[in-house]
Protein backbone atom coordinates (compact mmCIF):
# COMPACT_ATOMS: atom_id res chain seq x y z
CA UNK A 1 0.00 0.00 0.00
CA UNK A 2 1.28 3.44 -0.85
CA UNK A 3 1.61 6.09 1.83
CA UNK A 4 -1.14 8.75 1.91
CA UNK A 5 -0.57 11.90 -0.09
CA UNK A 6 0.46 14.92 1.94
CA UNK A 7 -2.35 17.51 1.80
CA UNK A 8 0.34 20.21 1.83
CA UNK A 9 2.62 18.77 -0.84
CA UNK A 10 1.87 21.81 -3.01
CA UNK A 11 2.52 25.05 -1.17
CA UNK A 12 -0.64 27.17 -1.55
CA UNK A 13 1.46 30.34 -1.89
CA UNK A 14 3.65 28.79 -4.58
CA UNK A 15 2.71 30.40 -7.88
CA UNK A 16 2.44 27.17 -9.87
CA UNK A 17 1.22 29.24 -12.79
CA UNK A 18 4.80 30.47 -13.13
CA UNK A 19 5.92 27.04 -14.31
CA UNK A 20 7.25 27.85 -17.79
CA UNK A 21 6.77 24.33 -19.13
CA UNK A 22 3.47 22.52 -18.85
CA UNK A 23 2.62 18.97 -19.75
CA UNK A 24 -0.89 19.11 -21.13
CA UNK A 25 -2.35 21.80 -18.91
CA UNK A 26 -1.76 23.81 -15.76
CA UNK A 27 -2.40 20.87 -13.42
CA UNK A 28 -0.88 17.90 -15.25
CA UNK A 29 2.62 18.24 -13.79
CA UNK A 30 1.19 18.21 -10.28
CA UNK A 31 -0.98 15.18 -11.08
CA UNK A 32 2.05 13.32 -12.43
CA UNK A 33 3.91 14.15 -9.22
CA UNK A 34 1.00 12.82 -7.12
CA UNK A 35 1.16 9.52 -9.02
CA UNK A 36 4.92 9.11 -8.58
CA UNK A 37 4.65 6.61 -5.70
CA UNK A 38 1.98 4.43 -7.30
CA UNK A 39 -1.69 4.24 -8.25
CA UNK A 40 -4.15 6.66 -6.64
CA UNK A 41 -7.88 7.00 -6.49
CA UNK A 42 -9.56 10.23 -7.54
CA UNK A 43 -10.41 11.02 -3.91
CA UNK A 44 -6.74 10.64 -2.92
CA UNK A 45 -5.66 13.06 -5.66
CA UNK A 46 -8.19 15.62 -4.40
CA UNK A 47 -6.31 15.93 -1.08
CA UNK A 48 -3.19 17.79 -2.26
CA UNK A 49 -5.00 19.12 -5.35
CA UNK A 50 -7.85 20.60 -3.33
CA UNK A 51 -7.85 23.86 -5.27
CA UNK A 52 -8.71 22.11 -8.54
CA UNK A 53 -12.39 21.77 -9.37
CA UNK A 54 -13.35 18.08 -9.69
CA UNK A 55 -14.41 18.69 -13.29
CA UNK A 56 -11.00 20.15 -14.17
CA UNK A 57 -9.19 17.29 -12.42
CA UNK A 58 -11.27 14.81 -14.44
CA UNK A 59 -10.45 16.65 -17.68
CA UNK A 60 -6.74 16.72 -16.83
CA UNK A 61 -6.71 13.01 -16.00
CA UNK A 62 -8.48 12.22 -19.27
CA UNK A 63 -5.93 14.29 -21.19
CA UNK A 64 -3.05 12.52 -19.46
CA UNK A 65 -4.68 9.19 -20.27
CA UNK A 66 -5.26 10.20 -23.90
CA UNK A 67 -1.61 11.22 -24.25
CA UNK A 68 -0.38 7.92 -22.80
CA UNK A 69 0.99 9.28 -19.51
CA UNK A 70 -1.64 7.73 -17.23
CA UNK A 71 -3.66 4.54 -17.27
CA UNK A 72 -7.11 4.40 -15.70
CA UNK A 73 -8.17 1.10 -14.16
CA UNK A 74 -11.71 0.46 -12.95
CA UNK A 75 -12.32 -2.27 -10.42
CA UNK A 76 -14.87 -3.43 -7.91
CA UNK A 77 -14.33 -3.48 -4.17
CA UNK A 78 -17.35 -5.27 -2.80
CA UNK A 79 -20.41 -3.35 -3.93
CA UNK A 80 -18.63 -0.11 -4.77
CA UNK A 81 -16.79 0.52 -8.02
CA UNK A 82 -13.44 2.25 -7.74
CA UNK A 83 -11.11 3.78 -10.29
CA UNK A 84 -7.37 4.11 -9.93
CA UNK A 85 -4.95 6.21 -11.94
CA UNK A 86 -1.36 5.16 -12.48
CA UNK A 87 1.61 6.47 -14.44
CA UNK A 88 2.61 4.53 -17.53
CA UNK A 89 6.30 4.10 -18.35
CA UNK A 90 5.92 7.15 -20.61
CA UNK A 91 4.41 9.11 -17.71
CA UNK A 92 7.23 7.98 -15.41
CA UNK A 93 9.73 9.31 -17.92
CA UNK A 94 8.42 12.81 -17.13
CA UNK A 95 9.38 12.67 -13.45
CA UNK A 96 13.05 13.55 -13.90
CA UNK A 97 12.20 16.34 -16.32
CA UNK A 98 9.59 17.78 -13.96
CA UNK A 99 12.11 17.65 -11.09
CA UNK A 100 14.62 19.62 -13.18
CA UNK A 101 12.04 22.19 -14.24
CA UNK A 102 10.79 22.56 -10.66
CA UNK A 103 14.40 23.10 -9.49
CA UNK A 104 14.93 25.70 -12.21
CA UNK A 105 11.69 27.49 -11.26
CA UNK A 106 12.69 27.52 -7.58
CA UNK A 107 16.12 28.94 -8.45
CA UNK A 108 14.54 31.70 -10.57
CA UNK A 109 11.36 32.31 -8.58
CA UNK A 110 12.18 35.92 -7.72
CA UNK A 111 12.91 36.76 -11.35
CA UNK A 112 9.71 35.08 -12.52
CA UNK A 113 7.61 36.93 -9.97
CA UNK A 114 9.25 40.26 -10.84
CA UNK A 115 8.61 39.71 -14.55
CA UNK A 116 4.95 38.86 -13.94
CA UNK A 117 4.48 41.86 -11.66
CA UNK A 118 6.14 44.19 -14.18
CA UNK A 119 3.92 42.86 -16.97
CA UNK A 120 0.86 43.24 -14.75
CA UNK A 121 1.77 46.87 -14.00
CA UNK A 122 2.22 47.56 -17.71
CA UNK A 123 -1.21 46.05 -18.41
CA UNK A 124 -2.84 48.34 -15.83
CA UNK A 125 -1.07 51.50 -16.96
CA UNK A 126 -0.64 50.80 -20.64
The rounded mean pLDDT for the chain is 86
Sheet (strand 40-41) strand order: 40-41, 80-87, 70-77
Q: Would you state the pLDDT for residue 69?
A: 93
Closest CA to 116 of 73, 62, 35, 108: 108
The whole-number pLDDT of residue 18 equals 55
For the residues 101-120, what does the mean pLDDT come to? 89
Dihedral sign, Cα of residue 48, residue 49, residue 54, residue 59: negative
Provide, rounded to the nearest whole percent, the portion of the chain with pLDDT above 90.
52
pTM for this one? 0.74
Q: Looking at residue 72, what is its pLDDT?
A: 97
DSSP-H helix ranges across 7-53:
28-34, 42-45
Residue 77 CA to residue 75 CA, distance in Å, equals: 7
Q: Is the pLDDT of residue 86 over 80?
A: yes
CATH code, 16-125: 1.10.10.10
In the chain, where the domains are located? 16-125
Q: Is the pLDDT of residue 22 over 60?
A: no
Distance of alpha carbon 63 from alpha carbon 79, whole angstroms: 29
Amino acid sequence: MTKPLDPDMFDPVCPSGLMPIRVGDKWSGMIVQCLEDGPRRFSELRIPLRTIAPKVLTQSLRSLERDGFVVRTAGHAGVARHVRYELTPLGRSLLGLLDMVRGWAEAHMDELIEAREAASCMDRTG
